Amino acid sequence: MTENKIEGERIAKRMARAGVASRREAERMIEAGRVRVNGRLLTSAALNVTQRDMILVDGKPLAEAEPARLWRYNKPSGLVTTARDEQGRATVFERLPPELPRVMPVGRLDLTSEGLLLLTNDGELKRKLELPSTGWLRKYRVRVHGIPTDAMIAPLIRGLTIDGERFQPMTVTIDRQKGANAWLTIGLREGRNREIRRAVEAVGLEVNRLIRISYGPFQLGDLATGAVEEVRAKVLADQLGGQSSPPTQAPSRESVAPRRRK
């Protein structure tokens, strides 16, 4: 077991780079007694390891770290974003192509939400893309029941508090009204549980369809429902910039909120 705390890297980070889990999930696996290093059972993640160390996870050798990869997936409604569901509901992982390596979702979309879900084989990349400090704008096309007005959506733009929980300001555009329903484009930089649904309900509207169309610079585009497409390595490297956090998203036709349509 490596005793030098400077040499190598933290065991949880090494596990994340091997695609076992995110760093935080790897730490929980260690605390649960599922990891051995050079024959010794770990009880703490406060350990550095090198390529010389033999790491076993659930009794199996830890795979070599693979290059970080990222995929765009157009999630259909009716799937949960977990590996297993206690209620027996279908999961996104049951619908992914069998040739895909083990992947983890970047953030989540709830059962009835659709659209862009990023998948990665690398726990460190997952953590990086989910960090609040990343600050990437996530945009959604949202169909609501009701007739939204500028006054009605103003609290969403300012930011509001629901049951003591503060929601940060969103970008909101009223796109069009069609009968009893209207389409909005909503952008946010947080990932709270059911954030859009709860915020929209608080101002008197009801979400009946929610489609994520972008996550930072990564766009849903014309990707078919249920389809998976890998982000090219060069595109991924360009977007991450080789830095600890992705660069600020450059304005584009997709990333600039459209004006309110009359």
Q: Which residue in this structure is represented by tokens 């080789």?
A: 242
Which one, of 123, 142, 94, 96, lies nearest residue 19 by Cα? Answer: 123
Put the strands of the sheet holding 60-61 in their side by side order.
Answer: 40-41, 35-37, 55-57, 60-61
> What is the rounded CA–CA span in Å between residue 105 and residue 231?
14
Planar angle of CA 128, 115, 120, nearest 5 degrees:
30
The token pair that represents 120 in the structure block: 């990665």
Q: What DSSP letter does each residue of 152-218 carry, written as one string? A: HHHHHHH-EEETTEEE---EEEEEEEETTEEEEEEEES---TTHHHHHHHHTT-EEEEEEEEEETTE
The catalytic residue positions are 110
